[in-house]
Each structure stands twice: as C-alpha cells, then as structure tokens.
Amino acid sequence: MIGRENQIHQKSRHFAVRIVKMVAFYEDELSFTYRPMLQQVMKSGTSIGANIRESQYAESTEDFVHKLKIALKEANETEYWLDILHEADIMTEDIYESMIVDCKELLKLLIAIINKTNDIAH
C-alpha cells in the first residue's frame, strides 16, 4: 500500500499542475461564458491532490478512507468537467485524451487504495 500511496501523491500533484496550466491556457482563449466551467475543473482537479495530501495526517483509518473518498469524488467531478469541455469543442482532442487518461488513472488508484485499506481494516 505504501508504494501506491507514494505513487498517488506524485500523480495527483502532477495532475493538479497540468490542470492549472490547462486552465491558464484556455482562460486566455475563451470568452467570459466558459470561465465558470474552467473554474470548476480548476477547483475539482486541484482538490484531488489536496485531499490525498490531507489523508497523510488522518486521525484514524476511517478518517484516511474518508479523505480519499472525497478525493475520489473530486476526481469523478473532474472527469465530468473534462468530458463537458471536450464535448462542447472547447478542449482539443489531444489535450482531452491526455488529461482524461491521467484522471482515470487517479480514479483507479484511489479505488484500489480505498478497497485495500477497507480490506485490511475489516
């Protein structure tokens, strides 16, 4: 589990940086109409890693799992916003494919860590 935890810390941080750069790129190019969507993907996409980071100092196993479940919900929301930006032809296919692969990988890692932790705890 330790290896997966280190891996998810690195991947979530890298993903957050990519989200920030993507939003900065598109924010300059898009009209005011689309900015709320960019703000939403910024919020959810960077929150994944923040919640994972917060889980490092969880008060209990239950608290650890709870924080990772919040990160999982944020990753799911991020996937939704990436899909919307792509389907609305705001995000290019190349950027979308790259971002969605990373997002889905975070989802899988979070689910694996949560399940493994729950199995050990019970």
Q: How many helices (H) and strands (E) does the chain have?
A: 4, 0
Which residues neighbour 112 within 8 Å (Cβ) at sequence distance 6 or greater?
4
Average pLDDT, integer, range 9-38: 89
Distance (Å, whole) CA 100 – CA 120: 30
pLDDT of the residue at 3: 55
pLDDT of the residue at 40: 96
> CB–CB of 110/65 below 8 Å?
no
Tokens at residue 59, please? 């008060």
Reported confidence tier of residue 28, pLDDT bands at 50, 70, 90: confident
Place of tokens 């979070």: 110
